[in-house]
Structure formats: C-alpha cells, structure tokens
Amino acid sequence: MLKFDVLIVGSGLAGMTLALHLAEKRKVGLITKRDLLEGNSTYAQGGIAAVLDNDDSVEDHIRDTLIAGAGLCDEEATRFIVEHSKEAIDWLIDLGVPFTRDDSHQTGYHLTREGGHSHRRIIHAADATGAAVISTLGQKIKAHPNIAELEDYIAIDLITAHKLGLPGNRAFGAYALDKNRDEVVTIAAQHTILASGGAGKVYLYTTNPDTATGDGIAMGWRAGCRVGNMEFIQFHPTCLYHPHAKSFLISEAVRGEGGILKLPDGTRFMPQHDPRGELAPRDVVARAIDFEMKKHGLDCVYLDISYKPASFIQEHFPNIYAHCLELGIDITQQPIPVVPAVHFTCGGIVTDLKGQTDVEGLYAVGEVACTGLHGANRLASNSLLECLVIGKAAAADILAGKPIKLPTIPDWDDSRVTDPDEEVVISHNWDELRRAMWDYVGIVRTSKRLERALHRIDLLKAEIDEYYSHFHVSNDLIELRNLVQAAELIVRSAMLRKESRGLHFSLDYPDPLPQTGDTILQPGAPAQA
C-alpha cells in the first residue's frame, strides 16, 4: 500500500496547480496515465483568459462569460474565478512560464482575442500555451521532494467509506493499476482529488488525446457524486481535416486574428448565421459549419488567413504553420480544411468553489468538474483559468482541514477473476460506442436519436460490466468502463432538456425555454432538470 496526505488523479493544469500549492505542507501523490506532461492541458493552443489590460474589466469578462453560457452560468462562480484571474496569471509568470512578450503593450505581453470576447484578454505562449505552461510546472513538480509522480498508473475506483462498510461517505484514496507491473496498487490518502479531465474520447472525432476517457466523472458518479450539465459537449469548430492530422486543432486565435471561414468556392458564410461572424461563440460557429456541410454535402469547410503577411502568420502561429506545412498545406498561401470535433466537456461532477464534491474528502477540479462557470457553452480560454483558480482554492481548503486517521483498507481482490480469453470484445465495444455517440448525440440532436443511443449504451454497458466482473483489469477495459458510463450520463442529461440552449440543440425543441435550470443527475435517484 502507498500512503499520501493528498492523492491527485491527473497531471494536467488542475492537478499540477494543486500539487504545487500543497507540496510545501503535505506529501502528495500524483497519478498520471502516461507520462507527467501528457494530457489535454498540454495541447491547449490559444491561451488563458484574464483581465490584464487597463481597457478591460472584470465586469466585461463576466458579461462575456454569461452571454456565451446562454443563461446557465452560475454568476457567483463566474465572478469568483474572473476576479482571481490576474492573480492566477501572476503566479504562472512568477514560476517562469514564457508567455509571448509585447513591449509596446502596457502589460508587456501580447494579448489576443477569441470568439465571444469583447476585448483582447488572452495571454498566450505563441500557439502552444498549454505546452509552455505544463512544461514549466512539470519541472517544478519533478524537482519537489514532497511530490511523488506515479507515471503509467490508471485509477480504477475510489476507496470510500461506503465500500468499506463504514458510516457516512468519505473518500480514502483509490485503487490504481500500475501498468508497467500489471498490478493493482492500493493508494490511501486523507484527501483525494479528481483532476482527470473530460470525456472527449467518448466520441469518434475529438481534439482530445487518447487519455480523455471520462475516468474521473465515472469514478465520482460510482462513489455517489452528483453530476451536472453533461449534455453540454463543446465541439471545437475548427479541427484540421486531413487523413494524417490525428485531430489536430486549429486554434480559436486564428479566427481572433482575422481568419475567415469559407465554402470550397471561396464564399464566406458566417455573417449569414451570426452578426459576430467568425468571432461568434463556439457553439454558434460549430452549428453553422455543420449546417453548411450538410446543406452542400461537404467533407469540410475552409479557414483562410492567407491574406495576412506570411511573417505575421509564422510569428503568431508557428506550430500550426509548421504542422500544416508537413501535411502539404502552406497556410500563408492557401486556406486550411477544417471540420468540427468534440473538444470540451462543460458539465461534470458538481462542486462548490473550493472544489468539494458530495463525498467528504473528495475534490474535483478542472474539466472533470461542474462549478457553474461554463453554463451551456464554455467561453474560449476560460478552462485553464478555472483550473488555476479553483485548484488554488481547493488546496487552501485542504490545508485548512484537520488530519484524519485512515481506516484499515483491504487490498484489491482479484481472486475470483481470470485472464481474458480475447481482447476483441473491448476494441469492438469501444468502436461501437464512439460511433453511436457521434451519429446520435452530436452537434444537432433529436429525441429519437437520443433514444437509439441510450438503447445501444444500455446493451454495451451490460456487456462491459459482465466482462469487468469476470476478467483481470487492463488499461483498455478500465477506460471502456468509464467511457460507457460517461456516455450514459451525457445521453440521460440530453434527454431531460426539452429545449435548445448553448451546446445542446434539438430539432424537436428548437427554441430555448423562458426559464431553465441545470440538469442534475444523482446516483440512485430520479434525474431532475
């Protein structure tokens, strides 16, 4: 058994922020499914939204967030996170994150603008902000004696009082598979944090890396946590369309700096869908592209910034330029073929502004959580900000708490299972689940499509649960079990919302209701909207 004061599941920006804020006073264990730097945060291109410019204001940032969130943002959460935005950026700068400089600007940094923002407020490191931030924080974590990095571990399930037959419901750590030794390890902790990201891989096409399999959402649900607003799955409007691209994202900032969306014949179409054009929020742009592709029978549309000077493009988007060039696309000379792809899970485990969940001693921070900031549609570049602000608040709450005595925790019991006789069941179910979600629970939904999706999910879930109960766990089996649970939560939530709002658009209910609320699912209880 391993023991820590705090166990953090996930090594993205939320997990790293917590680890660094806790490590001076607590012994921290950090689980990551691959290496320390692999995860969604690393792939974030655009930047971090924060009120840094004298011409900007907290009120403007809040208003932009509320508008994008389509009436479902929690105003208290939004204000708390935006008010702490400058403090969060200052912390990153103090740690040495190499944000792009602009000595002509009052802040000394270049700020860009993205869809839904009324000001330039996105601080960034060229077009690879996530990589710069995670690399910097990763170096600090590796050098810290109080942080143990458990690389190539995947959490299986939380250890709770309920599972141990004890009164109440508190988390005491987690069981995890050490993939290198193919051995399940018991990890005990006084506080446990889910910082495992979203569930993008539940869909066939996504900008997310392979690790985004909804693990924390599924584990939290099984432990007794409520989940909220899971129907709001954000499709990024502009994913590179190329057979060898492997879901390469074309940053929102390309449109922020003047990129124009066009049909194959060069016709611009966004002004017909929204007066904000290419700078409309992501849900609007993604639906517009989906509409034009279906209307004209297209495989993709095109994002064109080639009218800008080549030097400007190469300076502002060096990674996008280089990657496209490798694929034979010179974005200084020609438009970029793009399609929408699943990008962000706006809902998740319900938490307060300290990251606390319904289970005592269990916190959820980042994309895995639902604080109320994103509402029905996340405003671009607010996600990394949420990781920083709520991560620090959760760490402060943990540090203020009193130590507890851990109960006796039994080791993982696999005495009644055997090695699987064939792996094809896992790969087949994985593929069937992701295709069903893409076909039936996409950008535009209908009640009939959702019913079909739930029927398939119920059949897959029963098959996967039976497989899980009979065979030794593996990385793929753990991920598949979590994916099918996340898929069920998405579909059940979508079926409850009898309107169109933000990222949830239903042909059966095309208009928003005059009054609405969050969609909350509670384990063992009827769902309520």
E strand segments, 265-335: 301-304
Q: Which two tokens stand for residue 502?
A: 């933000």
Active-site residue identified among 282, 456, 481, 501: 282
In three-state secondary structure terms, 69 is: coil
Closest CA to 255 of 197, 308, 318: 308
Q: What length does the chain have?
A: 529
Which runs of consecutive H residues, i.e. helices, occur in 307-441?
310-316, 318-326, 383-400, 424-440
Closest CA to 33 of 413, 412, 474, 363: 474
List Cα–Cα distances, 251 to 45, 236, 237, 321, in angstroms.
6, 9, 10, 11
Closest CA to 216 of 454, 474, 486: 486
51 DSSP 8-state letter = -
Structure-derived torsion over alpha carbons of residues 167, 168, 172, 176, reported in degrees to the nearest 10: 90
Do 189 and 160 form a contact (C-beta atoms < 8 A)? no
Q: Is 121 a catalytic residue?
A: no
Which runs of consecutive H residues, i.e. helices, occur in 143-262?
161-164, 215-223, 252-256
Burial 452-461 (b: 16+ CB within 10 A, else e): bbbebbeebb
Q: How far apart are CA 159 and CA 182, in angstroms?
A: 20
Residue with token string 């959402």: 217
List Cα–Cα distances, 469 to 88, 266, 338, 484, in angstroms.
44, 55, 42, 15
Residues taking part in catalysis = 282
